[in-house]
Amino acid sequence: MQLNELKGNPGSKKRRMRVGRGIGSGKGKTSGRGGKGQTARTGVRINGFEGGQTPIHRRLPKRGFNNYTRHVYETVNLGDVQKAVDAGKLDAKQTVNLELLKKAGLVRKSGKEVKLLAKGALTAKVTLEVNFASEAARTAVEKSGGKLILPAA
């Protein structure tokens, strides 16, 4: 077999329908677009248009609100911190902050604030620098001999 003898499987390549090529082609005259009007033209179909009736997005009331004072923060569990220390992703001697948590893969999103939660056990003596911490997480870090640095409120 030569390169010029290569062929696709039968039926694997289908020719596109050529429109506007006469009445006998099956897609002649209006090329499958129906009659005149907006939908017969190119590039002008208005989404949500209901033929002059008030569209549903205008009939329904506005709901809810956006809380502009809401804190968006990442949560990190003590058990995950311990796993990262055991795996060598975090150095227990360094102060663990947001940047190191991102490198270790514990903080994935582009969150700017971190909250420490007490799920799991922490045995390593770690200094953690976070924005928020639950009361149980604070006691667990101090119990393990570590230190928790929180911003002055």
Q: What is the CATH number of the domain that holds 123?
A: 3.100.10.10
Question: Comparing C-alpha atoms, which of 75, 85, 61, 82 is closest to residue 111?
Answer: 75
Which residues neighbour 28 within 8 Å (Cβ) at sequence distance 6 or greater?
A: 19, 20, 21, 22
Residue 62, domain member (yes or no): no
Structure confidence by residue, pLDDT tens digits, 39-73 = 888 887 778 888 899 999 999 999 999 999 988 88
Is 80 exceeded by the pLDDT of residue 3?
yes
Residue 90, domain member (yes or no): yes
Rounded Cα–Cα distance for residues 14 and 132 (Å) = 60
Residue 121, domain member (yes or no): yes
pLDDT at 45: 74
Buried b (16+ CB within 10 A) or exposed e, 26-40: eeeeeeeeeeeeeee
pLDDT at 71: 80
Rounded Cα–Cα distance for residues 103 and 105 (Å) = 5
Residue 88, domain member (yes or no): yes
Question: Comparing C-alpha atoms, which of 93, 139, 101, 100 is closest to residue 117?
Answer: 139
Domain that holds residue 134: 74-149
Residue 26, domain member (yes or no): no
DSSP assignment string, 93-130: TSEE-HHHHHHHTS--S--SEEEEE--S---S--EEE-
CB atoms within 10 A of CB 90: 23
Which residues neighbour 75 within 8 Å (Cβ) at sequence distance 6 or greater?
A: 114, 115, 116, 117
Give the confidence band of 92 by pLDDT, cuts at 50, 70, 90: confident
The pTM assigned to this predicted structure is 0.55
Name the percent of the chain lying above pLDDT 70. 97
Strands 127-129 vs 73-77: parallel, antiparallel or unpaired: unpaired
Number of domains in the chain: 1
Residue 140, domain member (yes or no): yes
Average pLDDT score over residue span 128-133: 91
Distance of CA 28 to the CA centre of its chain: 45
